[in-house]
């Protein structure tokens, strides 16, 4: 198990194939389906494939990805949080999703703040993006709470829906959008 970072209550670690049952539940949560979209994960085998082609491939290619978020006490999986390199964005963005039972306890904010620190201090990124549906107000508030500023609403290449773009700059680089 590769641990990326720890917070007061959480461990953020790389996913592995034994996390497939958790992934199957998470990506079929109604809020995931509504806000992120259907990833066509309907079995443990699909969940294993999702992990291999998504987070695990990203670890190998970029040295980061979406990480499992587990509670330090009891080690139960709560959600995922991490960094994503998308072809449709000019910089790395932060992503997160938590099971309904683990929302409203500050876990997403705690994990996301840890990822901002990881992006800045470990990966030495000059900036970090966040994207969300303009209708997903909890996600908009979370991005702002961890220091990202709203930039604009736009339609990303290959997408049909409007997306709100947020950004935080760590260095003295110009903003990505004018």
pLDDT in tens, 13-30: 999 999 999 999 999 999
**Stretch 39-60: mean pLDDT:** 97
Distance CA 44, CA 79 (A): 17
CB atoms within 10 A of CB 1: 11
Distance CA 81, CA 130 (A): 12
Q: What φ, ψ does residue 68 adopt, rounded to 5°?
A: -70, 135
* Residue 73 domain-assigned (yes or no): yes
* Residue 176 domain-assigned (yes or no): no
* Residue 114 domain-assigned (yes or no): yes
Cα separation of the two ends of the chain: 42
The two three-digit tokens of residue 85, written as one number:
């390199």
* Residue 178 domain-assigned (yes or no): no
Question: Which residues make Cβ contacts (< 8 Å) with residue 120, sequence separation at least 6?
Answer: 128, 170
- Average pLDDT score, the chain: 93
Domain that includes residue 80, residue range: 3-169
* Residue 174 domain-assigned (yes or no): no
The model's pLDDT over 136-167, given as tens digits with 9 standing for 90+, comes to: 999 999 999 999 999 999 999 888 889 999 99
Distance CA 95, CA 79 (A): 11
What is the pTM for the complete model shown? 0.91
Distance CA 160, CA 116 (A): 28
pLDDT of residue 161: 87
């Amino acid at each position: 198990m590769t641990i990326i970072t720890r917070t007061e209550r959480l461990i953020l670690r790389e996913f592995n194939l034994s996390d497939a049952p958790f992934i199957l539940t998470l990506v079929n949560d109604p809020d995931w389906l509504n806000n992120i979209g259907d990833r066509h994960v309907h079995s443990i085998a699909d969940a294993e494939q999702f992990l291999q082609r998504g987070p695990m491939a990203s670890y190998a290619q970029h040295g980061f990805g979406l990480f499992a978020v587990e509670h330090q006490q009891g080690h139960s999986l709560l959600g995922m949080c991490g960094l994503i390199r998308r072809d449709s964005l000019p910089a790395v963005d932060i992503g997160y999703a938590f099971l309904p039972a683990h929302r409203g306890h500050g876990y997403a904010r705690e994990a996301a703040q840890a990822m901002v620190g990881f992006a800045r201090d470990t990966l030495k990124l000059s900036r970090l993006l966040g994207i969300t549906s303009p209708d997903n107000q909890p996600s908009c508030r979370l991005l702002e709470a961890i220091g990202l500023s709203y930039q604009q609403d736009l339609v990303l290449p290959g997408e049909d829906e409007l997306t709100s773009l947020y950004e935080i700059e760590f260095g003295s680089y110009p903003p990505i959008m004018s």
